[in-house]
Amino acid sequence: MNISKLGRIICITCLILILTITTGGISYGTTTSDLKQQQNDIDKKINEINSEIAGTKSKMTKNLNEINKLNDEISNYENDISSLEERLGIVNTQISEKETNLAEQQEKYNNQKELLDARLVAMYENGETSYLDMLLSSDGLTDFISNYYMISQLAEFDEELLQGIVETQNQIQAEKDYLDSAKTEIQETQTSIKGKQTSLANSRNQKKAVVSQLSEEEKELQEELEIYEEHKKEIQRQIAKASEQYSGIPVVPSAAGYISPLSGKTKSNITTGYGAYRGHTGADFACSGGTPIYAVKSGKVYKSTAKMKNGKYVSYGEYIIIDHQDGTMTLYAHMLAGSRAVQENQTVSQGQQIGKVGSTGNSTGNHLHFEVWVNGKHTNPAPFLP
Ligand SMILES: [Zn+2]
């Protein structure tokens, strides 16, 4: 693995750690949309890496095909070379046969020559010095002529024989010359094929190097991909955790940064609006008893109590006020008896469950009475809600 790849992977790992650490205490809406953004970013990155891997693979396939083709060509040349080798063997055998023939002819020639020389010497000796001897040793003139004639006839015959041997020698030599030039031609062809084969083998080796480089790159990309996949899983786990913790709340905050206090409800679900009748200082959401109530925004619990008179719930009944520390406060009233889940001065995060819907106090049925205070004065909650 090279340095820059290693650096990238370290960066990704750091990013994951930072994300894991920083996503702990943020309110649900922000966290979830951040996480989803991160997931999108990672998906994009994963797609990029996947297409890079696909590109690398297709380059590898192309190179491997080329290597196969080169292997075929190289083995074709191999066949050519071995058939040339075979031809060369045959020609070499033929050449050495010719050489043996030539040597035989030479010996024959030499023997014949010796014979002729001997006869010529004899003839000369007879001719120059001993005609008389021959005549005298012969049984008369007829015998002498017959002897002389025979010697010269023999010499002539020997000469013809020698001539024949020389002709045969020349013929064999010509055949040998032809074979020698055929041998040279075969050797030249072989050398040229071997040269081509070597150059093919070189380009095959280069391609093999490319393939091994590509496969190294693919391995690194796969490692990177695995890290991103891990990261994605972690984010999905966090999203799942967040949605488990805050199941069903509308998670897109309003312009004021509020989410709905009730799952699946928006300001369009208000059943009795602010100022609907004289003294109605909030907005009512009618819904079944026990429905979870969530903090619309993070803040500090300003009040968590029950209004009672003579042992009976009056006014807001069980209620909570949260100070969002941005000049606004929210009030949740008529909660189910004993359902308040937070205490005064406690810090709450957005979407945290603080109680359940009930009908305690001045209420005729299960509903949430929800108020928004700006600088201590109640105002219409609708514009603050999603
Ligand atoms: Zn009300």
pLDDT at 51: 93
How far does residue 314's CA lie from ligand 1's centre (Å)? 13
pLDDT reading at 4 higher than 60: no
Protein residues with C-beta less than 5 angstroms from the ion ligand 1: 282, 284, 369
CA distance 128 to 105: 33
pLDDT reading at 365 higher than 80: yes
Q: What is the pLDDT of residues 302-347, one digit of tens each?
A: 999 999 999 999 999 999 999 999 999 999 999 999 999 999 999 9
How far does residue 281's CA lie from ligand 1's centre (Å)? 7
pLDDT at 144: 63
Strand locations in the chain, DSSP E? 283-286, 292-294, 299-309, 312-323, 328-335, 347-348, 353-356, 367-374, 377-379
Kindly report, as residue ranges, where domains of CATH 1.10.287 are found in the chain.
1-245
**What percentage of the chain exceeds 90 in pLDDT?**
51
* Count of Cβ atoms closer than 10 Å to residue 313 Cβ: 19
Backbone region of residue 310 per phi and psi (left: phi > 0; alpha: psi in -120 to 50; beta: other values)? left
Closest CA to 159 of 101, 128, 119: 119
How far does residue 316's CA lie from ligand 1's centre (Å)? 9
Q: How many CA atoms lie within 13 A of 262 on its CB side?
A: 26
pLDDT at 248: 56
123 vs 382, which has greater pLDDT? 382
Fold of 267-384: Glucose Permease (Domain IIA) (2.70.70)
CA distance 95 to 176: 6
Q: What is the pLDDT of residues 187-232, one digit of tens each?
A: 998 899 899 889 988 989 999 999 999 999 999 999 999 999 999 8
CA distance 373 to 297: 13
Closest CA to 338 of 305, 363, 384, 298: 305
How far does residue 77's CA lie from ligand 1's centre (Å)? 96
Q: What is the pLDDT of residues 234-277, one digit of tens each?
A: 888 877 766 655 555 556 678 888 999 998 888 989 999 999 99
Kindly report, as residue ranges, where domains of CATH 2.70.70.10 are found in the chain.
267-384
As given in the structure block, the two tokens for residue 363 are: 């209420």
* Tokens 């359940």, located at residue: 356
Is residue 229 within 8 A of residue 46, CB to CB? The reply is yes
The pLDDT confidence band at residue 129, using thresholds 50, 70 and 90, is very low
Please state which of the four CATH numbers 2.40.128, 1.10.287, 1.10.3210, 3.30.70 is assigned to the domain occupying 1-245.
Answer: 1.10.287
End-to-end alpha carbon distance in the chain: 51
Instruction: Name the residue type at position 51.
Output: S
Is residue 48 within 8 A of residue 12, CB to CB? The reply is no
> Average pLDDT, stretch 36-49?
89
How far does residue 299's CA lie from ligand 1's centre (Å)? 23
pLDDT reading at 43 higher than 80: yes
pLDDT at 237: 82
How far does residue 370's CA lie from ligand 1's centre (Å)? 7
CA distance 359 to 290: 10
* Count of Cβ atoms closer than 10 Å to residue 179 Cβ: 20
As given in the structure block, the two tokens for residue 96 are: 């050495």
CA distance 225 to 252: 31
* Count of Cβ atoms closer than 10 Å to residue 88 Cβ: 16
**CA angle at 318 for the pair 314 and 321, rounded to the nearest 5°:** 115
The pLDDT confidence band at residue 112, using thresholds 50, 70 and 90, is confident
The pLDDT confidence band at residue 150, using thresholds 50, 70 and 90, is low
How far does residue 245's CA lie from ligand 1's centre (Å)? 28
| DSSP for 281-323, written as a single string | -SEEEE--TT-EEE-SS-EEEEEEEEEEETTEEEEEEEEEEEE
